[in-house]
Amino acid sequence: MSKRAKPMCADPSQEITIRIPCALADRVAAYAKEQRTSLANVVVEALDLFLRRPPPP
């Protein structure tokens, strides 16, 4: 029997609003422009990478 993770929400994506320091927002925007991608994609990829790291010992 296969155990598949059920989606947490009905839609595969969910909108959230956060406030970040202006300097960080500028860095994210510059990186997104350099990589020719969206701000949302940069944030999603960064959060995913961060959350996949093993916890510190």
Which pLDDT value is given to residue 11? 79
In a domain, 13, yes or no: no
Averaged over 37-50, what is the pLDDT? 96
Give per-residue pLDDT as tens, 1-36. Answer: 445 666 567 778 888 999 999 999 999 999 999 999
Number of structural domains found in the chain: 1
In a domain, 16, yes or no: no
Q: Which residue type occupies 48?
A: D
**Secondary structure class of 43 (helix, strand, coil):** helix
Flag whether 4 is in a domain: no
CA distance 12 to 16: 13
> What pLDDT digit, counting tens, does each position of 47-56 carry?
999 999 998 8
Question: Which backbone phi and psi does 54 adopt, to 5 degrees?
Answer: -65, 145
Q: Say if 14 falls within a structural domain.
A: no
Q: What is the pLDDT of residue 38?
A: 96
Residue 7 contacts residue 21 (beta carbons within 8 Å): no
Provide the residue range defining the domain that includes 40: 22-52
Angstrom distance (rounded) from CA 30 to CA 10: 33
In a domain, 5, yes or no: no
| pTM tops 0.85 | no
6 within a domain of the structure (yes/no):
no
